[in-house]
Amino acid sequence: MDNGFWGQLKRPFFALAPMEDVTDYPFRTMLTRHGKPDVMWTEFVSADGLCHPVGRQALLPKLEFDPETERPIVAQLFSASPEKMRQAAYLVADLGFDGVDINMGCPDKAINAQGAGAALIKDPSLAAELVIAAKEGVSSHHRPIPVSVKTRTGWNRDELETWLPVLLETKPAAITVHARTKKEMSKVPARWERVKAAVEMAEGTGVLILGNGDVRDLADGKKKAKETGADGIMIGRASLGNPWVFNPKKKDVTIEDRLRALVEHAELFERFYGEGRKFEVMRKFSKAYVSGFDHAKDLRISLMEACDAAEVRRIVSEWNSSACV
């Protein structure tokens, strides 16, 4: 089985988790500048939308990446239509991505209502069809790329022993196991013993297993990889406000580091989106950068009023000046 770039990674490798409205081009650029993971991941994108001319134009910004700094990079798609998945997977290969991933773990009600995301756990036969369709789509391209899957341990209950073999049978290059069920969301600690079980089930198949859920940093990830045997570790929420999370050389992050990164991120956001996206979206990032130090709350309150990158820079500059008094 040709795993493409996956087979070239030194284990355990580290990947950026796909997060809606988070892992966009500006966010990933921050990582490439401060601590690039071994594998990049986009936000998830609707395969159905990509197959419609109008929808495609609206969604293509989510699939913009820098081929010089972001490789290997995987585009994540969601759909309940094998035909749409086939077409969209071909498009992802045509756009130059290194891999395509199928979202089978998103707990969002609107996504699940379409039969996509975590709802596919309830329809194993359709899930298998989607993987096969994606593989057919990329194999028809002159530059075929590997197909992977990101999923959870179950819907309302843990059903990994019956669910994972269905996916393994389709032989994707890799499967990321978020060690919680859809019902559990992120409300309970991730059960990493289930990642270990997934590794054992995948033994001999050639399918790589990544573990995901509650990974705090590289040291924590390496520990979890050793305990479970996972080929790779995916980090998500710990990367918010911390573009150094994948950087083994960055040991101590200062308040000044965080504030400089916030301004840098705001400028990247504004430069990339212009007036095409409301600057208010930056607020979640401001909250992540500005936390855990004295008077952080006051600074966050001020930043919530910022309407552009220049305002962010001004607020941070004034706060720095007052903090030095």
Catalytic residues: 106
Residue appearing with tokens 């379409």:
114
Cis bond upstream, residue 18 (ω within 30): no
- Cα separation, 190 vs 81, whole angstroms: 30
- Cα separation, 108 vs 56, whole angstroms: 22
3-state secondary structure of 115: coil
DSSP label of 216 = -
Cβ burial 154-193 (10 Å sphere, 16+ → b, else e): bbeebbbeebbeebbebebbbbbbbbbbbebeeeeebbbe
First to last CA, the chain: 63
Contact criterion met (CB below 8 Å) for 73 and 79: no
The H or E element spanning position 33 is helix 25-34
- Cα separation, 101 vs 196, whole angstroms: 21
Q: Indicate the length of the chain as a whole number.
A: 325
